[in-house]
């Protein structure tokens, strides 16, 4: 392991306190890791059904005709030419079918890292629909680059595809937030009161937050704050705080290689033992597993 003694005196809140360079959404999205491995065109005959790999997440951009989606919470919906749909949890019980005319689309296949920020990933709806007008011009441009890379066999093509899919997913989530969804994890960012509490948690992960303090930051009563936060975020405030700290800890273990005990203390745990118990309960293995993996890769 490469020693980083200067890290040991740097607290996480100081690294993430520069609001001018890292907004709240960036904090969240930085903890969402995914692997995109394929971009490809697809065509459907009239009333043909789109078949997708069940376990993978997908982005679908319609380039001709229209699709009908059945099985979503809101009932059947129509995806017109130029629209995008993202299926964060895979196709599941959704049915994507062409209308009475042929349809064509560009598909991006990806998977979320199982150790990504789980509160966010699990809180996403089954289907996110971004209409062409809501894409603010970026959708048309990204399709051009996706199709160029889909047929490119030059060295580095796989990396380009993966990075482009990263961009598409992040841009889709950002556009979805701006629509102001009524529910779902990222809906918390569209509520100014809840967003203020989330901002405090993200900027000061080491702080021993209480419900009363976070409710005061949000300008709400304790009960109203807890109810609203849990409804939007999908986690109670203190559970979310703990999961955010552990997500940061894993990132530091994997990418910084600092000592387990030092990382636990830096994110607010009183002891290495307490940190290790919480880490194992959340990720299913001790922090030393990730620490050893990082050290092995380095050597």
CATH assignment, 5-16+205-298: 1.10.10.60
Q: What are the residue ranges spanned by the domains of the chain?
A: 5-16+205-298, 34-181
Answering whether pTM is above 0.85, one says no
pLDDT digits (tens, 9 = 90+) for 249-290: 887 887 666 788 888 888 888 888 999 999 899 888 888 887
Specify the pLDDT at position 33. 78
Specify the pLDDT at position 181. 53
Residues of the chain with pLDDT under 70: 1-23, 72-76, 114-120, 152, 180-187, 255-257, 293-299
Phi-psi region of 191 (alpha: psi -120 to 50; beta: other; left: phi over 0): beta
Report the SS3 class of residue 199.
helix
For the chain, give the percent of residues with pLDDT over 70. Answer: 81
Specify the pLDDT at position 16. 35
Report the SS3 class of residue 21.
coil
Specify the pLDDT at position 74. 53
Q: Write the CA distances from 281 to 131, 155, 271, integer angstroms.
A: 40, 41, 16
- Please report where in the chains the tokens 């907004």 appear, as a residue: 23
d(CA 276, CA 288): 8
d(CA 294, CA 147): 35
Instruction: State both tokens at 213.
Output: 């303090």
Phi/psi for 258 (5° steps) reads -75, 170
On whether the CB atoms of residues 22 and 16 are closer than 8 A, the answer is: yes
CATH assignment, 34-181: 2.60.120.280
Specify the pLDDT at position 277. 92
């Amino acid at each position: 392991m490469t020693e980083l003694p200067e890290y040991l005196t740097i607290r996480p809140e100081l690294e993430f306190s520069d609001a001018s360079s890292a907004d709240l959404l960036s904090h969240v999205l930085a903890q969402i890791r995914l692997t995109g491995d394929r971009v490809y065109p697809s065509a459907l005959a009239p009333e043909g059904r789109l078949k997708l790999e069940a376990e993978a997440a997908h982005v679908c951009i319609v380039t001709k005709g229209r699709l009908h989606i059945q099985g979503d919470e809101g009932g059947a919906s129509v995806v017109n030419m130029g629209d995008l749909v993202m299926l964060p949890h895979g196709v599941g019980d959704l049915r994507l079918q062409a209308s009475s005319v042929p349809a064509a689309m560009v598909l991006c296949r990806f998977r979320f890292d199982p150790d990504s920020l789980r509160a966010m990933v699990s809180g996403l709806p089954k289907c996110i629909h971004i209409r062409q007008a809501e894409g603010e011009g970026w959708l048309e441009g990204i399709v051009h680059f996706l199709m160029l890379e889909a047929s490119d066999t030059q060295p580095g093509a796989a990396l380009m595809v993966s990075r482009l899919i990263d961009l598409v997913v992040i841009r889709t989530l950002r556009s979805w937030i701006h629509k102001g969804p009524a529910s779902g994890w990222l809906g918390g960012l569209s509520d100014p009161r809840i967003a203020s509490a989330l901002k405090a948690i993200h900027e000061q992960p080491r702080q021993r937050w209480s419900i009363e303090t976070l409710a005061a930051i949000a300008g709400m009563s304790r009960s109203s704050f807890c109810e609203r936060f849990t409804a939007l975020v999908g986690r109670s405030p203190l559970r979310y705080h703990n999961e955010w700290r552990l997500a940061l800890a894993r990132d530091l273990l994997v990418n910084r290689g600092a000592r387990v005990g030092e990382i636990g203390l830096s994110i607010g745990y009183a002891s290495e033992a307490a940190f290790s118990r919480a880490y194992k309960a959340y990720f299913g293995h001790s922090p030393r597993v990730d620490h050893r993996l990082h050290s092995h890769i380095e050597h």
